[in-house]
Amino acid sequence: NNTLVIVALERSVDAIIAFLAVLKAGGAYVPINPQEAEARIEHIFNDTNAPVIITNTAYVDFLPSTFAQVICLEEILTENSN
């Protein structure tokens, strides 16, 4: 279905897992370094119009406002550990 998913994570094992999960689900990921310039991140958000964003709680407040569904990795891990 090639749904675009923004992955706003630093280079890490979590980012690789997120990339693989998006691909496994049939989507296409758009990697964003959350420490990039705000204008560049906003341009990518506007250009892709991705309906889903995978990030962590440390970066949620720094991302541009959007109607996309934001998935925080820590929340998923907390839900699955209960």
Note the Cα 32 to chain centre separation in Å.
8
Q: What is the pLDDT of residues 3-59, one digit of tens each?
A: 999 999 999 999 999 999 999 999 999 999 988 888 898 999 999 999 999 999 988
Contacts of 30 (CB under 8 A, 6+ apart): 4, 5, 6, 7, 44, 48, 50
User: Would residue 44 be called left, alpha or beta, if left means φ above 0 and alpha means ψ between -120 and 50 degrees?
Assistant: alpha
- Total-model pTM: 0.87
Predicted local confidence at residue 63, as pLDDT: 85
